[in-house]
Amino acid sequence: MIEPVDSEPLTVSRMTKLETALRSFLGPGIVTRNLSRVLALAAKRGRISYDEAQRMTKESADDVLLLATGLRLLLPVRTFRSAAWEDRILLAEPGEMYEVPNAVRFLVENAGQTGQWNPGDALSEVFRLAGEPKWERIPMLVERIAEKSQDYRVNAVQIKEACSELGLGDRVDTLIAELKGSGVMSPKLSSFAQVAKTGAPLYELNPSLFTKKRIKEAKRSDWTGAKAY
């Protein structure tokens, strides 16, 4: 069981540091500033409503939510058929709710304390609290998996290879479950052709958890992967 993120109150200083961390790969601007406000509150509670986001960001609420869901910083609670990210339906309207993946909660909280976007520290902490016995190897494992991915997609065979390379080959199934549960990746249930070709399940990686270089190289249009209606 993962413990809640710290209970310290939101302060201007923490939100300013979070904005600084986000600016390191998103650049400055009103959307980045408002995204920091939305994420600061959402990380504390684990979720945020459209109404709350709109009150905090006013006219840029839709842009903030589109960017946040595309980066998998937030996930719409509403789904089409399953909890997989590809089945989440983004509706930017009153009454809608958006949740924060566990790893992102710790990443956001850490950024609010340090002013830096450091996925490695967040991954170590969330897996340590989850009871993973080899939590210190998780950041390296996630980077190794990312190296084998293409367009943030990776299959189970590649994940098994990454685990074996780090001496974790005897715990592949457990680690896949933990990586899904923590918000590092999600099943790509609709990619039947690729699954049939490799004979292995396919997963989508969370782009917000990788290096700044990887995020900078991604096209901004690639960050808006949630269905919007």
Full domain range(s) for residue 173: 133-211
What pLDDT shows up at residue 223? Answer: 46
Does residue 146 sit within a domain?
Answer: yes
pLDDT for the residue 171: 93
- Asked whether residue 125 is domain-assigned, the answer is no
CA–CA separation, 41 vs 129, rounded Å? 21
Question: Cβ of 116: how many Cβ atoms within 10 Å?
Answer: 12
CATH number assigned to the domain comprising residue 162: 1.10.10
One domain for residues 202 and 223: no
**Distance in angstroms (rounded) separating the CA atoms of residues 169 and 144:** 13
Other CB atoms closer than 10 Å to residue 12's CB: what's the count? Answer: 7
Q: Is residue 207 part of a domain?
A: yes
Q: What is the per-residue pLDDT for 210?
A: 87
Instruction: Please tell me the total count of domains within the chain.
Output: 2
- CA 53 to each of CA 72, 95, 114, 209: distance values in angstroms, whole numbers, following the listed order: 16, 11, 24, 23
Mean pLDDT by 10 residues, the chain (229 residues): 60 92 93 95 95 91 95 96 94 96 96 95 95 96 95 95 95 96 92 64 94 51 43
Interatomic CA distance for residues 115 and 19, integer angstroms: 8
